[in-house]
Structure 1
Amino acid sequence: MRRLLLVSCSAVGVFALLPASRAVAVELPVRKAGLWEMKVLSGGSTPEMTMQQCTDETTDKDMSTAMSPVAKDICSKQDIQKTATGYVTDSVCGVAGMTIKSHAEITGDFNSAYTMKSTSHSEGGLAGAARDNSTTIEAKWLGACKADQKAGDIMMPGGMKMNIKDMEKLKALIPKK
């Protein structure tokens, strides 16, 4: 259950990185097509988690457009800035009575490897207590997707497989403000 909660919170963090609309001045680049390994390192007692995602240019672009309505519904602030070394994002999002303020610094080239270091502060929700979290995602391109994978597939630890294109269906589960 704790791992599922971590994945859910990571998904909210990913939503926070997506542009809220086409009017956003800066957008994150599209990743190179193929199989990406993403190693999630969280502070504290949460174990390291490694997952893989098969992507292509269309899926990365679609992910941005499909998730934008979700992010628009749950985030009151989403800023993306280009820096000399990459990108910086700042967001404030709310889900299930919890407010999450996030700051992320992303470096790398989106063709072979990138790193996202994020910090977040959450308040409210079921636990009610304030919580600070630091997460680092180290992503590297592995090559072509495997024969049994299609763009959007995410292979989670333990063999669970889901497709990011199905995430739009989760929008219906997120309570409105």
Structure 2
Amino acid sequence: MRRLFVAAATCLAVSSAAGPSLALDMPQRKAGLWELKMEFVGGNIPGQTMKQCVDAATDKLMNQAYGGASGEACSKQDVSKSGNTMTIDSVCKFGPATMTSHAVVTGSFDSAYTVDVQSSRAGGPPMPGGADTHMRISATWLGACAAGQKPGDIVMPNGMTMNVLDMPRPGMPRR
């Protein structure tokens, strides 16, 4: 169960882009069902495929509540945009650990996008996958959410469904 929660948290943290700087001004995804394929390049963490049913409100919530560090935690949050490409460089401190990330987001938030994130962590306790990680996410809009799905539903690789509105969020009560 813990592994599923970590996978869901990872999925949420990259739902609109990736890395600690996510809470910056990210575009909203088109409402409907999105498939996210996460690959950990060169690591020993297996890839994951999840599906998310989103509407404007739940996509905004995921970006705000799970979108990474607030500005106070980051000494650097540089974002540049060129056409359909967004580049995000950040340095953020979480307790004794400092995370340096470089993310490149390409594509359209209406149909398909990719996120390529390279991160390096210094200090703090050891993390699964090590101090340096390279994650690639491919997201594809599949159409309307499936019958019976509600906005905020995340279908995990094992078929279990959880809803972002029911997950604990920093500083926000559950529904």
- CA distance in structure 1 between the aligned counterparts of 2:142 and 2:46, rounded to whole angstroms: 23
Give the drift of 1:61: 2.7
Question: Aligned pair 1:29/2:12, yes or no?
Answer: no
Residues 91-125 of structure 1 show CA distances to partners (whole Å, capped at 9, x for unaligned) of 22333532211111111111110001110001222
Secondary structure of the residue aligned to 1:18 is coil
Task: State the SS of the aligned residue for 2:59.
Answer: helix
Q: TM-score, normalised by structure 2?
A: 0.77
Contact 1:15 1:67 in 2 (8 A): no
CA deviation string 1:48-106 (max 9, x = no partner): 10011111122223333445795345434333221234111112233353221111111
Letter in 2 for 1:143: G
Q: What's the counterpart of residue 146 of structure 1?
A: 146
Identity of aligned residues (%): 44
Alignment correspondent of 2:88: 89
* Structure 1 residues 81-160: aligned runs within 5 Å: 81-127=80-126, 131-160=131-160
Q: 1:161 to 1:94 in 2, by over 3 A?
A: farther
1:105-159 Cα distance to aligned partner (Å, 9 max, x none): 111111110001110001222228x721111100000111112221111111112
SS at match of 2:131: strand
CA–CA distance in structure 2, aligned partners of residues 154 and 92 of structure 1: 29
Residue of structure 1 in register with 2:21 after alignment? 16
Whichever structure has more helix as a proportion of its residues is: 1
Aligned residues between the structures: 165
Structure 2 partner of 1:51: 50
* CA RMSD across the alignment: 3.0
Distance in 2 separating the partners of 1:50 and 1:158: 10
